[in-house]
Amino acid sequence: MPLDDIKQARLEKLNKLKDSGVDPYPAGCSRTHMIADATGDSVLVLAGRVMAVRGHGAITFMDLRDGTAMIQLFFRGQDIDVIDIGDFLEAEGTLFTTKAGEKTLNVTRYAMLTKSLSPLPEKWHGLQDIEERYRKRFLDLLMNPEIREKFVKRAQIIQGIRDYLQKHQFIEVTTPTLQELYGGASARPFKTHLNALDQDMFLRIAPELYLKRLLVGGFERVFEFTTNFRNEGIDREHNPEFSAVEFYAAYHDYEWGMDFIEDMFCSIAPDKFQKPFRRVKYENLMAPHGSLEDAVFKERVRHMLVEPTFVTDYPKEMFPLAKAIFQFYAGGFELVKAFTELNDPIDQRQRFSAQENMRAKGDEEAQRMDEDFIEALEYGMPPAAGFGIGLDRLVALLTDSHSIREVILFPLMKKK
């Protein structure tokens, strides 16, 4: 049946419900149990989406799914003509087990909770048009349980990191997303305008410079889960809007940081990470390629770092906010940048000046002179280690996903 005819038939059922005095979109629900918890001989009220309908004369079976499980519904001699696959139902009854051993609810009463007007796709599972899956992620989640599980896993990974940091006396904080001056990374920003103050603003490219201000202010261990925005390309590892966590620990350096990251990852994902991680100097990886350019590293070396690997001793000029750095790789993904942080205000001013010179020569990703941040450093920032973890990449690795777009619920897509 053509899609337009299917929608028209559903609209007619919608009007039938309304004409009979039934609200097809009621505000309330009388659910007593989640499907996964449905047990016993008492009367239960379940709720969920109808995923399948099977008729056998006066008997009809339906599959009802909520956020926990699926159960079979049994109807005998009831008027169920208004129900379609995709509708949300409230179903009341008692449980029994069929001859085939399937737990089933003998429905004595049902109520429409949401009348669906579009049919669920029949061939969505295994859909080859990846972009269509991303554009209609609601269907992707609905029709592909394994995709939904990836986002459950994502939430668990993020919570695991939060728990680990809090266990180690880090305090969670919030810093501005909308900033007068962007900084903390080498990237092109997104620019906007604040009408109330009639001034240009930027979306955060990183929270680093604000988190370091908190170290100046007396906090010794801070972390922040952020959404960062960088006006850059889209590929397997990049999305202009991406998730990260940054954290800083006073009185430590990046040598301590390698042990900390190793312990953290082995704690949150023991099935993927086991100690010890490989540690290798940047120059040793680059030696066969005859160049210290970062672009050469990204093109020729990074994808080969499959086993968990710390890369250390990067050229200082590559990172204008740090004394020393390591990066952590696994599965060909760059997962962590970590630093022994620069806390010398005079050195920092000189590095910002060098960045401004690069910007004047056309480098759109060069960092800006931040006088307010330098002023904060002049009051004194303790020696510290700083870390940034790309959460989308980490989740992609831990869920065996090829691209970060698989683990971003709504990745940025080119307009059709």
Q: How many residues does the chain have?
A: 416
pLDDT band at 126, cuts 50/70/90?
Answer: low
Helices (H), 269-366: 282-286, 294-296, 345-360
Q: Do the domains at 3-114 and 130-406 have one common CATH topology? A: no
What is the rounded distance in angstroms from the CA atom of residue 193 to the CA atom of residue 180? Answer: 10
Write the burial class of residue 204 (CB in 10 Å: 0-12 exposed, 13-18 middle, 19+ buried). buried
Q: What is the pLDDT of residues 164-207, one digit of tens each?
A: 999 999 999 999 999 999 999 999 999 999 999 999 999 999 99
Residue 236: what residue type? R
Q: Where are the domains of the chain?
A: 3-114, 130-406
Say how many CA atoms lie within 13 Å of 132 toward its Cβ: 8
Cα–Cα distances in Å, from 370 out to 91, 139, 194, 197, 213?
61, 45, 20, 20, 12
Q: Which CATH architecture has domain 3-114?
A: Beta Barrel (2.40)
pLDDT band at 336, cuts 50/70/90?
Answer: very high
pTM score, two decimals? 0.92
Helices (H), 192-281: 208-216, 254-268
What is the rounded distance in angstroms from the CA atom of residue 82 to the CA atom of residue 87? Answer: 10
Tell me what the pLDDT averaged over the chain comes to: 94
For residues 236 and 210, the answer to whether their CB atoms sit within 8 Å is no
Q: Would you state the structure tokens that stand for residue 372, as one six-digit string?
A: 């307010």
Which distant-in-sequence residues (6+ apart) come within 8 Å of 288 by Cβ?
none
Topology of the domain comprising 130-406? BirA Bifunctional Protein; domain 2 (3.30.930)
What is the rounded distance in angstroms from the CA atom of residue 206 to the CA atom of residue 177? Answer: 9
Mean pLDDT of 94-110: 96
Write the burial class of residue 317 (CB in 10 Å: 0-12 exposed, 13-18 middle, 19+ buried). exposed
Q: What is the pLDDT of residues 318-334, one digit of tens each?
A: 788 889 999 999 999 99
Residue 290 clears pLDDT 70, i.e. is over it: no
What is the rounded distance in angstroms from the CA atom of residue 344 to the CA atom of residue 11? Answer: 69
The one-character DSSP state at 298 is I
For residues 314 and 282, the answer to whether their CB atoms sit within 8 Å is yes
Output the pLDDT for position 127: 67
Pick the more confident residue, 158 or 414: 158
